[in-house]
Structure 1
Amino acid sequence: MARPRAFVLWLACNGRLATKDRLRRFGLINDENCIFCHQRETHNHLFFGCHTLKDVWLKVLMWLQVVHDPKEWHEELPWMMQTCNGKRWKYAFLKCAVTETMYHVWKHRN
């Protein structure tokens, strides 16, 4: 059985999370506004476009002592895959922090 954190990360990486723009396309909701900043919620916006959540990412990266300015989702996914691919403990810790941050953003949003 998949752990919820890893499953949310897998869904995010494959563009399968039920973000508000997707739910609206399926006719399930009318409101597409982000609960954090009230702009249109998309996959990219939820994780890297929202100013409130970008501050969260910057604080996590600063805590890890990683110098990086989060960009758009299509740029961040390759960066995460390349950066988290190392064998040293710092890379494993970064991978864990990315997984946990994405899970808690999604959990808080819901």
Structure 2
Amino acid sequence: MWGRLQTRDRLRRIGLQVEQECPMCGMHSESADHLFTQCIYVRNCIKELNRNHHLIPLCSNMGRMNDWLQKPTVGRFRCQTIQCICTALLYNIWIQRNSAIWQGSLSHFTKVVQQIKNEVWLRIQSIMPRKVQNKDKDWLRSILL
């Protein structure tokens, strides 16, 4: 999937004349690896998500993040919650990237993290199984509220 995203490095490889720099940090060339794992903007988002709990590691590339997501180290509910957070993070980073390109605006990373938390909370609340243990419910509240 990562090789199909229309990042600037991919657009340049197929012959389009586009800027090379990341629209979010402006310091490095934009690639999927940079955009989702190396950009200072996404790293700030991850640090903010990890403020009280270590949820997502700072990976150097998408392959490592994918490998990490495939090796659950916690219970099923927590693993699925973390996967939901990662998915929401990637989606919101892509939205911010497009906003930076097309509207010339970029939301502060704390606002994006709050959006991610709200989206994940609503999604999990709507599908939460009844058999979730109270300690997992408390954990969920502690990371998202």
Instruction: Please say which structure displays the higher CA radius of gyration.
Output: 2
Note the C-alpha offset of 1:64: 4.8
What pairs up with 1:13-24 in 2 under 5 angstroms?
A: 15-24=3-12
Moved over 4 A (4+): none
Structure 2 partner of 1:4: none
- 2:49 counterpart of 1:70: no
Q: What amino acid is the match of 1:98?
A: C
Which consecutive unaligned segments of at least 5 residues does structure 1 have? 1-10
Which consecutive unaligned segments of at least 5 residues does structure 2 have? 99-145
- 2:16 counterpart of 1:28: yes
Note the C-alpha offset of 1:78: 0.4
Note the C-alpha offset of 1:66: 2.5
Work out the number of aligned pairs and report it.
97
* Distance of 1:67 and 1:52 partners within structure 2: 15
* Distance of 1:66 and 1:98 partners within structure 2: 9
Structure 2 partner of 1:3: none
What is the TM-score with the length of structure 2 in the denominator?
A: 0.58
* Distance of 2:11 and 2:31 partners within structure 1: 10
Contact 1:58 1:70 in 2 (8 A): no
Structure 1 partner of 2:70: 81
> Residue deviations 1:4-61, cap 9 Å, x none?
xxxxxxx33xx21111000111122321110111110011100111122111122223
Note the C-alpha offset of 1:70: 2.6
* Distance of 1:53 and 1:30 partners within structure 2: 22
Q: Percent of pairs identical after alignment?
A: 27
* Distance of 2:11 and 2:56 partners within structure 1: 35
What pairs up with 1:1-110 in 2 under 5 angstroms?
A: 11-12=1-2, 15-38=3-26, 39-62=28-51, 64-66=53-55, 68-83=57-72, 88-110=76-98
Q: What amino acid is the match of 2:83?
A: K
Q: What amino acid is the match of 1:68?
A: P
- How big is the alpha-carbon RMSD for the aligned residues of Structure 1 and Structure 2? 2.1
What is the TM-score with the length of structure 1 in the denominator?
A: 0.74
